[in-house]
A and B are shown apart, each in its own frame.
Chain A
Amino acid sequence: MLHDQQPLATDQQPPAPNLSLMTARLYDPLLKVYRNYTARVFLQAIITIWVVMTLTFVLVRLMPGNPVDVLVEQILTAEGISYQEAYDRIAASFNIDKDATPLDQYLQWLGDLLRLDLGTSITSPGTKVIDEIARFLPWTVFAVGTGLLISFVLGIFAGMPMAYYRGSKLDHILSFFSSFSTGVPNYIWGLLIIIGPGISWRWFDIGALRGTYDVGLTPGVNAEFILSALEHAALPVFTYIIAILGTWMLSMKSSTTGVLNEDYVNVAEARGLKERTVISSYVGRNAALPLFTQLTISIGFVLSSGVVVEEIFVYWGIGHLLFQSITVRDYTTLQGVVLLLTAVIVFSNLFADLTYGLLDPRVRVSGEK
C-alpha cells in the first residue's frame, strides 16, 4: 500500500484541486496559506497551543482540591485553628466570582488572551499573572539555557572522540561516566552537591549562594550584577550540566559511529584529506545534525524539569512558579505558566522542523518546495 503512493517522491506537486474558477478565486488566499509550508506549520502550531490550553483549562479544574480548600488545609496544619475559622478567613480573602460557570470563565479567559492579558492570580488577588512570569522566567532561561548549551557543546566534543577511539580506555571511562551520570536524577545530584561540597567540605556558604543575585545590586549591564548573577547560577547550572551531559555524549557517540561508517568519510580519507578536516567538516557536522533536533525538543522539557533543582538551590524560576501554583491550585497562574511552556515546546519543535532542512541539505521536508 505504501509503495503504491510513491511516498518517497517528494518533488511532486500535490494534484491541483479540481475547482471551478469562481470558487478557486474565492478560496485562493486560503489555499495559498495552505500551500505555503511555513504558514501551514504556524497555523498548526497555533492550533496545538489552543488545544493544549483548553485541555489545561479543564484539567486544572479537575484536580482535587480548589484554591480555597488547599489554603484551608494549609492553615489547619500550620496554625491549628478550627476548620470554620480557616474556611471563613480564606474564603473572604479571595475574590472568586462564584456565579461564573466554567464556560463563562473559559470564554472570559480566551477573550483576555486575545488582548494578551493572562489575568490575575487567584491566590494573590490583584497580582497580574504576566508580572509573576516576568519575575521568574528570566532566571530559568538563564540557568537552564546556560546549562543546556554548555552540556550540549561539551557533549558534542566529548562524544566524537568516544566514537573515534572506540574501545580505547578514553572511550570506556567516558562511557561509564556518561551512562552513570544520566542514571542519577538531577535533584539527587543537587542534594549531593549541597551535602558534599556544601556541608561536609564547606567549600561555599550554601545560604549566601541562594537566590538569583545579591541584595542591593541593580539588575542591568554592570560587572557587579553580572558576576553576582553568575555566582548564584553556578550551582544549578553545574547540576543541570552533570545531569544532562551524558545524554549528549552518548547520543553524539552513536551518531558519530554511524557517520564514520558512511562512504563519503572513507572517500574523504582516501582522498588524503587531513584527519582534522575530515573530523570537523565531515564527521562532526553530519553527526551533530540529529542532535540539534533533540536539543530544540529538550528546551521545553528542561524548562519545567528543573522544578526540584530550583527548590533545592532556592533559585526560583518558572519551575518554582509552576510548582507553587499547582500546590495552591492557583488556576489562572497555572494556566499562564502552562501556556508559556506549551508555546515554548511547540515553537521549538516548529523551529526544529523548519531549520532541519537548512542544516541537512539532503533532507527535503515533505511538501517544502
Chain B
Amino acid sequence: MGRYVIRRLVQMVPVFLGATFLIFVMVYAIGDPVSGLFGDRGPDPATAQALREEFDLDEPLPLQYVLYMGKIFTGDFGTAFNGQPVTQLMEHAFPISFRLMLVALVLEVVLGIALGVITGLRRGRSLDTSVLVATLVVIAVPTFVLGTTVQYVLGVKLGWIDPAVSPDPRLDELLVPGLILSLVSLAYVTRLTRTSVAENTRADYIRTAHAKGLPRRRVTVRHLLRNSLIPVVTYLGADVGNLMAGAIVTERIFNIQGVGYQLFQGILRQNSPTVVGFVVVLVLIFLLANLLVDVLYAVLDPRIRYV
C-alpha cells in the first residue's frame, strides 16, 4: 500500500510539471504579460523593460518557466494588480472556495450515493423514474441558468437567502451556492451509483450472500455498497476538476470572493502572476485530489492494491 502511494506520487511529478508548463505557455507565450497591463495606451519603453526583466521575459521560454517555478517553491508568486503579493490574495480566497467546495462535495457524495442506492435497488418504480428524469434535467440545464434563476427566486423574489454572500461567508451562507455547485455532479453520482448498484445486485457474490442466509440489510451494506462505490470513487477524482470550474461560475453568480473571483480579476486586469499562480495551485490541488482518490480506490478494491 505504501509503495503504491509512493509510485503514484512519483508519477504525479512529471504530470504536474507538464500541466503547469502548458498553462505557463498559454499565459507567457500566447498572451503578452506586459503590454496587457497597460491596456490600449501601451507602456512607456523604460517601464516595459523593467517589467520584462522582473518577469525574466527576455530569457527563453523554458528557462522562464524554470525561474518561475523556482520562485514559486520559495513562496514567491509575484505581485497582483493592486500591489499585494499574490500569496495574500490566496490566503483570503482559498479558504472561502474550500468551504464552498466542501459543502458541494458533501452534498454530492451523501445525497448522490443515497439517491443512487435507493433508485438502484428499486429500478423501474416511480421513484426511480422521477429521480432519473430529475438528474437528466439537472445535467441538461446549465449551472449558470439554474444558479441565476434560483438566486432570483430565493434571493430576490422570496427573500429567503441573501442574493450575495458576505465577504467572508460562513458555511450556512454557502449552503445554497454549494447546492447549485454540486447539482450536476450530484446528478452524475446518482446515475453512476444507480447503474453500479443495479449491476451489482445481479452479481454472483450477492447471490452467494443471500444463499448464506445473511439479512437483506447486511447484504446491502456490507456486500453491495462497497463494490458499487468503486466506480463512484473513480468519478469523484475527475469531478474535483468539474467542481473547480463550477466554483468559478457559482462564485460569479453569488458574488463570492473566492478563487474564481480572484482568477477573474486577474484575467480582467491581465495580471499574469495572479492567473498563473492561482491556476498552478489549482492544478496541484486537482492532482492531489486524484491521488487521494486513487488511494481510496485501492482501499476499496484489494485487486488494485496487489497489482
Verify that A and B bind, or say they do not. Answer: no
